Amino acid sequence: MVRTGAQYLESIKDNRCVYIGGERVENVTTHPAFKGISQTVASLYDIAADEKQNMSYITEDGTIANKIYMIPKSIEELKERREAIEKWANATCGFVGRSPDHVAGFLAGFASNPDVFARGGQMYKDNVLNFYKYARDNDLYLSYVIIPPQTDRSKASHEQENEFTAVGVYKEQEDGIIVRGSQMLGTGSAVSDYLFVSCISPLRPGDEAHAVSFVVPLSTPGLKLYSRPSFAADKPSTYDYPLSTQFDEGDSLVVFDDVFIPWEHVFAYRNIDIVRAQFHETPAHVYGNSQAQIRFVMKLKFIIGIARKVAAMNGIDKLPPVQEKLGELASIAASIEGMLLASEYNYMTDENGTVYPNRRFLYGVVGLQDSIYPKVIHILRDLVGGGVLQVPSTYKEMINPETRDDISRYIKSPGASAEERVKLFKLAWDVIGSEFGGRHQQYELFYNGAPFVTKGYAFRNYRYEEVVQLVDQFLESYQIPQKVEEQMI
C-alpha cells in the first residue's frame, strides 16, 4: 500500500514521548515545532499516492509499494528509484534530509542480502525480511539513531563512566530484550513511525552489549525524545521564513529508559561483526547515501537558482566577476550531478543480483561533503550582499497602511515589486543566515559522519588497484640505462 498524507498524520498521533521547551508534546501534528514538518511529510505521501507521479511499484510478493523501498535488480530499476526519490527532493527543495526515503533505503539494502544477519542465527535473517516487508507494505516512515551520544570520544562505549550512556542491552528475556541508554541524533524522529537503532561507529571488543540492531515504534513506553530548539515555532509566517517553517525536521537525543524490544524486532544481537557488516556488506549504506546525494543535487540546483535570480534582480548578472561566481556554482552543481549519474551508469551488481550505485563515484562526493556546501553558501552569501538584511522584520510592515508605502517605494528592483524582492531575499537568508540555514551547514558537514569518516569512505571505496596498475605499467615501460648513450628512449 502507498499511504496518503492523512493516513500518515493519523499514524503519528500516538502516545509518543517528545520533550521540547520543558514540556511534553501532546500531539506532534499540531505542535508549532512539528506541525510544519509533519504537514510536509504528509504532502510527500500524497505525491507518492498520486498514480500520475509513478512512485509505486509491484513488489516481488505482488503487493503495491512506494518505490523508496525498491530493491533494484537492473539499471532501469535503479533509475526508477532515483526518479522517485527526486520527486520528493524536488518537493522539499533538497532541504529535508531524513525524509522517509532515507532509512527505507537502508532497510531495502538489509533485505537484499539478509544472509549477513543469518550469521547471528536464522531468526535474525527472518526478522529483517519480515520487518522490511511490513514497513514496505505499510509505507512506514523510519528515522534512525546510529551514533553513540557525544560524551568522551576517546573511550569505547563500554569504557564510558556510565556503562549505559550509549544504548545497550540491559537485560535479556524470553520474549525479547530490555535496552537502556541513549543515542544521537534522531533527525525527523519526532514525526516518524519507527526508529531504527544501531551503531555505525566502530565498536571495540568489550562493546558487545552495544552491538545491537533493532527497530522500535515511537510510541513504545520508555522511549523519550529530547528535541533541540525549534526553528519553526516562533516564526511570523512562511513568507518570512519559507524553509524554517516547512522543513525543520527537528533533531533529538533519544533516551531508552528500559525499553522492551520483542525478539522479532531485533536484527543483530551482541555481535560486533554483524553490526558493522549490515551497513557495508549489504548495499544499505550505499542506498541510504544515494538518497542523500539525490537530495543534495536538488538542493544545489535550488541554491544556484536563488543565486541566479538574486544576481538578475540586483542588475549584476552581466558583470564578468559575477558571472565567474555563478559559473563556479554551475561547475560544482554539474560535477555533483554528474557523479550521481556516473554512479548509476557504472552500477554494481552483487552476488544476489542486486544492483546499486557505483561506490567509487558515490563516496567520492561523500568525501567532499565538508568543502562543497560551505563553498556554495559562501558564494551565495557573497552575491546577496546586504540585501538579505534590507528587508522588513516581518510581512506585517508590508500590509500595515502606515508602513507599506515606504516598503514598496524603497525595497524594489526594476521589474520586481517589493513583495517579490523581499520574498526572494528572505528565502536567501533562510538558506545562508537563519538558524535553520546554520543547522543545514552542520548537517551537510556531519550527517554522514565527521570529515575524517567521510574521507575514509572515499579512501576505502576508490579501488586503487586500477590506478596503481596504471603507474606500474608506465614504470615498467622504461629501465635504468646500461650505457650513457641509451639514457633516452
Ligand X SMILES: Cc1cc2nc3c(=O)[nH]c(=O)nc-3n(C[C@H](O)[C@H](O)[C@H](O)COP(=O)(O)OP(=O)(O)OC[C@H]3O[C@@H](n4cnc5c(N)ncnc54)[C@H](O)[C@@H]3O)c2cc1C
For the annotated binding site for FAD, the residues are 150-153, 187
Residue 197: beta bridge partners? 145, 214
**Position among 399, 442, 470, 472 found at the interface with ligand X (CB under 6 A):** 442
Q: Nearer to ligand X by C-beta: 156 or 340?
A: 156
**Position among 185, 223, 243, 313 found at the interface with ligand X (CB under 6 A):** 185
| 146 touching ligand X, by CB under 6 A | yes
203-201-163 Cα angle (round to 5): 55
Cα separation of 438 and 432, whole Å? 7
Stretch that binds ligand X, among 113-121, 123-131, 426-434, 447-455 (CB under 6 A): 447-455
**Position among 25, 68, 108, 145 found at the interface with ligand X (CB under 6 A):** 145
Nearest distance in Å: CB 198, ligand X:
9
**Position among 449, 455, 456, 462 found at the interface with ligand X (CB under 6 A):** 449
What residues between 250 and 309 interact with ligand X by CB under 6 A?
251
Cα separation of 252 and 18, whole Å? 9
Q: Nearer to ligand X by C-beta: 217 or 451?
A: 451
Cα separation of 106 and 93, whole Å? 22
| 214 touching ligand X, by CB under 6 A | no
Please, are residues 44 and 50 in contact by the beta-carbon 8 Å criterion? no
**Position among 91, 147, 233, 330 found at the interface with ligand X (CB under 6 A):** 147
Please, are residues 158 and 209 in contact by the beta-carbon 8 Å criterion? yes
> The C-alpha cell of 143 is what?
528515522
65-66-72 Cα angle (round to 5): 90
Cα separation of 136 and 132, whole Å? 6
Q: Nearer to ligand X by C-beta: 226 or 446?
A: 446
Cα separation of 252 and 98, whole Å? 13
Q: Nearer to ligand X by C-beta: 88 or 425?
A: 88
| 374 touching ligand X, by CB under 6 A | no
| 452 touching ligand X, by CB under 6 A | yes
| 439 touching ligand X, by CB under 6 A | yes
| 451 touching ligand X, by CB under 6 A | yes
Q: Nearer to ligand X by C-beta: 46 or 251?
A: 251
Stretch that binds ligand X, among 142-150, 163-171, 333-341, 476-484 (CB under 6 A): 142-150
| 346 touching ligand X, by CB under 6 A | no
Please give the annotated binding residues, written as ranges.
150-153, 187
> The C-alpha cell of 458 is what?
572515499
Nearest distance in Å: CB 223, ligand X:
15
> The C-alpha cell of 424 is what?
526572494
Nearest distance in Å: CB 82, ligand X:
22
Q: Nearer to ligand X by C-beta: 277 or 312?
A: 277
Q: Nearer to ligand X by C-beta: 118 or 147?
A: 147
| 373 touching ligand X, by CB under 6 A | no
Cα separation of 148 and 34, whole Å? 25
Cα separation of 201 and 166, whole Å? 11
Give the count of beta carbons closer than 10 Å to the beta carbon of residue 202. Answer: 11
| 186 touching ligand X, by CB under 6 A | yes
Query: Per-residue b/e over 359-371, b at no fewer than 16 CB within 10 Å?
Result: bbbbbbbbbbbbe
Cα separation of 144 and 183, whole Å? 9
* Backbone φ and ψ of 35, nearest 5°: -60, -45
Give the count of beta carbons closer than 10 Å to the beta carbon of residue 355. Answer: 21
Give how many residues touch ligand X by CB under 6 A.
Answer: 21
Q: Nearer to ligand X by C-beta: 167 or 311?
A: 167
Cα separation of 422 and 389, whole Å? 10
Q: Nearer to ligand X by C-beta: 57 or 436?
A: 436
| 151 touching ligand X, by CB under 6 A | no
What residues between 41 and 80 interact with ligand X by CB under 6 A?
none
Q: What is the dihedral of CA 274, 275, 280, 281, to 10 degrees?
A: 20
* Interacting residue ranges for ligand X, rule: CB under 6 A: 98, 144-147, 150, 153, 184-187, 251, 439, 442-443, 446-447, 449-452
